[in-house]
């Protein structure tokens, strides 16, 4: 029986058992890779409609990254953009008859949360140094070290559970309505499921960005607000005699 905790077996590769969520994940990855190669081969100085849409998405993504983590957004564009697009396509794979989204299974969501966790470790140590990253756990006081350590685990666990619960519940409701009411009645629910899948993909990517930004700047370290024009003028203006 195919459940959120026990995935249905598809085939074996030697001693390794491959489940259907893994097969769907490979299909999503292959499809995204093929589309990326096609789009890259059609890049032009005068963009067409498709390239203009892609550039708009990249610009919007860069704006979101800069609003969270100051500096060059290109450092995190690939990771956050890939997470956003993959989760979106994985959620929407449920629209294909007979296909269950891999994000409706805990192992896929756990792998995605683990990627965010490892990325936070990498960027935190790279930007602050090992010593600075370890000292960030003692902010604002050394008493907070155990809580900050637990927070690193619980926040990524909640990231996994949030995505799993929302996607799985949508698939579960649609499957029940489909079995009771027929083929055409669940169409409005499928449209709602598309919206939910897009929202969940955006939330997952945004939370991943926030968690990585927290690791880069230190745990809950606030960024200094830029000075207002009047304050800048007051600083630059020499005192009058």
Report phi then psi at 10, rounded to 5.
Answer: -105, -60
Say if 228 falls within a structural domain: no
pLDDT at 84: 95
Contact 148, 137 (CB under 8 A): yes
pLDDT at 42: 86
pLDDT at 151: 87
Say if 240 falls within a structural domain: no
Say if 237 falls within a structural domain: no
pLDDT above 80 for 226: no
Say if 71 falls within a structural domain: yes
What is the C-alpha radius of gyration for the chain, rounded to an integer number of angstroms? 22
Per-chain mean pLDDT for the chain: 82
Say if 227 falls within a structural domain: no
pLDDT at 229: 41
Per-residue pLDDT tens digits for 124-183: 898 888 888 888 888 877 888 888 889 888 999 999 999 998 888 877 777 777 777 665
pLDDT at 85: 95
pLDDT above 50 for 56: yes
Q: What is d(CA 52, CA 54) in angstroms, rounded to the nearest whole number? A: 5
Say if 232 falls within a structural domain: no
Q: What percent of the chain has pLDDT over 90?
A: 38
Residue 89 structural domain:
9-221
Say if 2 falls within a structural domain: no
pLDDT at 5: 62
Q: What is d(CA 160, CA 154) in angstroms, rounded to the nearest whole number? A: 10
Q: What is d(CA 109, CA 95) in angstroms, rounded to the nearest whole number? A: 19
pLDDT at 76: 93
Give every CB contact of residue 171 below 8 A, 6+ residues apart in sequence: 94, 100, 101, 104, 193
The structural domain count of the chain equals 1
Q: What is the mean pLDDT of residues 212-229?
A: 59
Say if 19 falls within a structural domain: yes
CB atoms within 10 A of CB 27: 16
Per-residue pLDDT tens digits for 81-131: 999 999 999 999 988 878 889 998 888 999 999 999 999 999 989 888 888
């Amino acid at each position: 029986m195919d459940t959120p905790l026990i995935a249905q077996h598809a085939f074996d590769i030697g001693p390794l058992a491959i489940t259907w969520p893994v097969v769907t994940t490979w299909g999503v990855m292959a499809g995204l890779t093929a589309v990326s190669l096609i789009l890259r081969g059609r890049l032009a100085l005068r963009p067409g409609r498709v390239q203009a849409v892609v550039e708009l998405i990249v610009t919007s993504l860069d704006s979101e990254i800069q609003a969270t983590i100051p500096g060059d957004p290109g450092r995190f564009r690939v990771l956050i953009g890939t997470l956003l697009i993959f989760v979106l396509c994985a959620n929407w794979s449920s629209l294909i008859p007979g296909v269950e989204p891999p994000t409706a299974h805990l192992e896929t969501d756990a792998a995605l949360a683990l990627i965010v966790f490892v990325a936070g470790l990498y960027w935190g140590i790279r930007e602050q140094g090992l010593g600075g990253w370890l000292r960030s756990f003692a902010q604002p006081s050394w008493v907070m070290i155990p809580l900050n350590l637990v927070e690193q685990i619980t926040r990524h666990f909640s990231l996994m559970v949030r995505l799993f619960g929302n996607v799985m519940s949508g698939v579960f409701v649609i499957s029940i309505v489909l079995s009771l009411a027929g083929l055409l009645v669940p169409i409005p629910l499928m449209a709602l499921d598309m919206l939910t899948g897009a929202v969940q993909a955006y939330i997952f990517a945004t939370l991943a960005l926030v968690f990585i930004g927290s690791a880069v700047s230190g745990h809950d370290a606030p960024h200094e607000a830029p000075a207002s024009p009047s304050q800048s003028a007051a600083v630059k203006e020499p005192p009058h005699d």
